[in-house]
Amino acid sequence: MDENKMKKDISGDGRETEKDKQLESWKENSDGKGLTTNHGVKVDHTDDSLKAGQRGPTLMEDFHFREKMMHFDHERIPERVVHARGSAAHGYFQLYEPVPELTKAKIFNDPSKQTPVFVRFSTVVGFRGSADTVRDVRGFATKFYTEEGNWDLVGNNMPVFFIQDAIKFPDLVHAIKPEPHNEMPQASAAHDNFWDFVSLMPESIHMIMWVLSDRAIPKSYSTMQGFGVHTFRLINAEGKSRFVKFHWKPVNGVYSLVWDEAQKIAGKDPDFNRRDLWDLIEAGVYPEYELGMQIVEEEDEFAFDFDLLDPTKIIPEELVPVKIVGKMVLNRNPDNFFAETEQVAFHPGHVIPGIDFTNDPLLQGRLFSYLDTQITRLGGTNFNEIPINRPLAEVHNNQRDGFMRQTINKGRTNYSPNSLRGGHPLPVPEEMGGYRHYMEKVEGKKIRERSNSFKDFFSQAKLFYDSMSDTEKKHILEAFHFELGKVEVMEVRQRMVYMMANVDMELARKIAAGIGADPPEDEKMVREAARDARPRVTGRKSVDVSPALSQENLKGTSIKGRKVAILVDNGFDYQAVAKVREMLMDNDAMVHIVSQFHGMIKSSTGEELKTDKNHVTTASVLYDAIFIPGGEESVQAMKKQGDVIHFINEAYKHCKPVGITGEAVELLSMSATGVTETQMGVRSDMGVVTAGKDVNMSEFVMKFKDAIMEHRHWGREKTGVPA
């Protein structure tokens, strides 16, 4: 079957899955129902507690009051230590074609089946109430409800991590969280503790390059890559093992915010990414991601200039291409945020037959940590019985009791072996679907050391930086200036400058110039900053540049999901708005009519439009592009509205598409963009698309669409625009 046709056939049709049906049976709808207590007794009054007289004391016998208050007092569970700020969605995964040569996992061998999934996106450092657009790693965790049990692919939007061994995870999190003496700063790594830690941990430098790149401020969860981070194993039916790294590739391309924009959005709409995910799904513009695998044969384990088990390293796609195997579609929002998004429990140890672990020391630690955390956060060992965590596969074992037990187990036996119940539940042989770990030979002395193959700390950090476009390099430098500029202890700043000299000497000098540190001229200090780092292993597979790392090479081919603001006032050109709006909606873009005030706006020819936003409730930073139509009366009104000029200036500063037609081109002369107005023809210049009066609007909308598809027009990036 043609691969493109297979991909096309897998669409978001929203069909109800078995998991949906199961979840539906647990849902409660109070519409038209009488109020009761939790034990089912009907309640006749819920606005006043039971008292001894109208002004007397409340009586302890008021069981309704006590239950209502007790439940409220305990409605908050401990928030996650990391990944507390999250958003989630339901969907499904479907395979393009079977891969039995790679794995016996049924999810990868039946293209006709849609496997239900629940995906949670998150920031890492901030508390639950922090903003979405902070500079941070993003969690990308997927729970597959497979027929063989739940499989949790617990990843991030970056393919590497800060540390190599899980024993350093408490130190990392303590360092990056708000400083303990004053609980500041919130959801930010820009403070002394974190950079003190990093400056003493050279293994973290590769991850630092990712965090200070645009990858750390994604525009939308729908245009954000995901990675399994660790190297796992795939096992086929013959017992053959291969190494694998998992990738999620968004169908609509990969895009980010710019830092000034991200900071402003945190104030304008701290729920920006959460709202975007919700709105896309509600509008039927379903986020889609293709699942890819990088496969390495066991005999090639040591063929590279890095260690496959090192979680601070990637496998460059130019050495091992990503094999796309299927698509995930997110097509339903949660019904209850707490019951689903907050109570979902992911665990890297939730795997299914055909997927196994490697000796990655960070992964090994996570196998313990996640389970231990869920027991504390969700009240005990029965967290898997919470509806959002329940597998579709049947559960039969001898585990009983504990906090929040949901299952009512029948029978007298709860041990194995037993004869009173015929030995049931019995172990399942491997040939009948039982899980068996890969038989790997392991031997060695007990030792607290790290393999020398893990000690090349800088080669891939340099690979990442060298693979960036000039614009991306500029943004990384600016991020260093911001982050290290917040560090108060000069010794820490200086150590970081010397550390970065091991990645790129010119970058280190530019960092130093921006933070008041000495440039790296002393080679001895540079070497000491590297500690026991070793050079890359020569003579093995390697690359010096990886185009797959630059977001400039990962753009989509549509404008699906883009948000466009159309700014109007009374007397606007209705035909221009109708043409642009039609093009945007036909291409699954999101459109908002924005005006000075809420209400109905009348065009120059009498048609009316209802506004979606007014100036005070929105801003250009919340959109991917803006369009302003002509209309003499409308333009004259907007000339007096500073918010409109600010919209233009700010969108221009952030290199976003700006579309203007008819009399509205006069607004350009009032802006700080430096763009000259035109009253003739259609012109497109670095994302500014203009059209004079009485022009062919079909030509304009096509050029405006092309400008939106480009997303950012870096050629006009400059700091001189006041916005």
CA 159 from centre of chain: 12
Concatenated DSSP letters for 429-493? -GGGT------------------GGG---SHHHHHHHHTS-HHHHHHHHHHHHHHHHT---HHHH
pLDDT tier for residue 7 given thresholds of 50, 70 and 90: very low
pLDDT of 13 higher than 60: no
3-class secondary structure, 645: helix
Q: Is 90 a catalytic residue?
A: no
Q: Using CB atoms within 10 Å of the CB of residue 224, give its burial: 0 to 12 exposed, 13 to 18 middle, 19+ buried.
A: buried
**Section 503-517 average pLDDT:** 97
Give the per-residue pLDDT at 696: 84
What is the β-pairing status of strands 149-156 and 625-628?
unpaired
The dihedral of CA 116, 121, 124, 127: what is its sign?
negative
Q: How far is CA 317 from CA 292, 325, 440, in A?
A: 11, 16, 27
pLDDT tier for residue 29 given thresholds of 50, 70 and 90: confident
Query: Which has the closest alpha carbon to 323: 211, 263, 247, 437?
Result: 247
| Structure-token pair, residue 553 | 């090479």
3-class secondary structure, 601: strand
Cα 213 to Cα 207: distance, rounded to the nearest angstrom:
10
Residue 350 CB contacts under 8 Å (≥ 6 apart), including other chains = 143, 149, 150, 151, 152
Tokens 């061994």 identify what position?
A: 165
CB 464 within 8 A of CB 209: yes
pLDDT tier for residue 255 given thresholds of 50, 70 and 90: very high
Architecture of domain 563-716: 3-Layer(aba) Sandwich (3.40)
Query: Which has the closest alpha carbon to 37: 61, 71, 60?
Result: 71
pLDDT tier for residue 719 given thresholds of 50, 70 and 90: low
Cα 506 to Cα 455: distance, rounded to the nearest angstrom:
23
Burial 242-252 (b: 16+ CB within 10 A, else e): bbbbbbbbbbb
Number of neighbours of residue 608 by Cβ within 10 angstroms: 11
**Section 531-559 average pLDDT:** 91
Cα 91 to Cα 137: distance, rounded to the nearest angstrom:
23
Give the per-residue pLDDT at 369: 87
pLDDT of 679 higher than 70: no
CATH number listed for the domain at residues 460-535? 1.20.1370.20
CA 628 from centre of chain: 32
Number of neighbours of residue 519 by Cβ within 10 angstroms: 15
CB 204 within 8 A of CB 162: yes
- Comparison of pLDDT for 185 and 63, the residue scoring more: 185
What is the β-pairing status of strands 590-595 and 563-567?
parallel
Q: Is 83 a catalytic residue?
A: yes
Give the per-residue pLDDT at 15: 56
- Annotated catalytic residue: which of 83, 350, 711, 713? 83
What is the domain partition of the chain in residue ranges?
89-335+350-362, 460-535, 563-716
| Structure-token pair, residue 1 | 């079957």
pLDDT tier for residue 1 given thresholds of 50, 70 and 90: very low
Query: Which has the closest alpha carbon to 560: 590, 592, 591, 593?
Result: 590
**Section 484-506 average pLDDT:** 97
| Structure-token pair, residue 341 | 């998004």
Residue 519 CB contacts under 8 Å (≥ 6 apart), including other chains = 497, 508, 509, 512, 513
pLDDT digits 0-9 by tens, 149-181: 999 999 999 999 999 999 999 999 999 999 999
91-105, 127-141, 532-546, range with the lowest pLDDT: 532-546
- Annotated catalytic residue: which of 109, 150, 156, 502? 156
Output DSSP code: residue 156: E
Cα 310 to Cα 600: distance, rounded to the nearest angstrom:
59
pLDDT tier for residue 527 given thresholds of 50, 70 and 90: confident
pLDDT of 434 higher than 50: yes
Cα 95 to Cα 102: distance, rounded to the nearest angstrom:
14
pLDDT digits 0-9 by tens, 302-346: 999 999 999 999 999 999 999 999 999 999 999 999 999 999 999
pLDDT of 5 higher than 80: no
pLDDT of 537 higher than 90: no
Cα 52 to Cα 57: distance, rounded to the nearest angstrom:
6
CB 117 within 8 A of CB 143: yes
pLDDT of 10 higher than 50: no
Output DSSP code: residue 390: -
pLDDT of 395 higher than 60: yes
Give the per-residue pLDDT at 8: 44
Number of neighbours of residue 471 by Cβ within 10 angstroms: 18
- Comparison of pLDDT for 217 and 36, the residue scoring more: 217
- The residue ranges of DSSP E strands in 223-311, in sequence order, are 226-227, 232-235, 241-250, 288-297
Give the per-residue pLDDT at 9: 45
Residue 538 CB contacts under 8 Å (≥ 6 apart), including other chains = 305
Share of the chain above pLDDT 90, in %: 76
Q: Which amino acid would we find at residue 635?
A: V
pLDDT digits 0-9 by tens, 575-608: 999 999 999 999 999 999 999 999 999 999 999 9
CATH topology of domain 89-335+350-362: Catalase HpII,  Chain A, domain 1 (2.40.180)
3-state helix, strand, coil in the chain (%, to 5): 35, 15, 50
- Comparison of pLDDT for 65 and 567, the residue scoring more: 567
Q: Using CB atoms within 10 Å of the CB of residue 300, give its burial: 0 to 12 exposed, 13 to 18 middle, 19+ buried.
A: middle
pLDDT tier for residue 627 given thresholds of 50, 70 and 90: very high
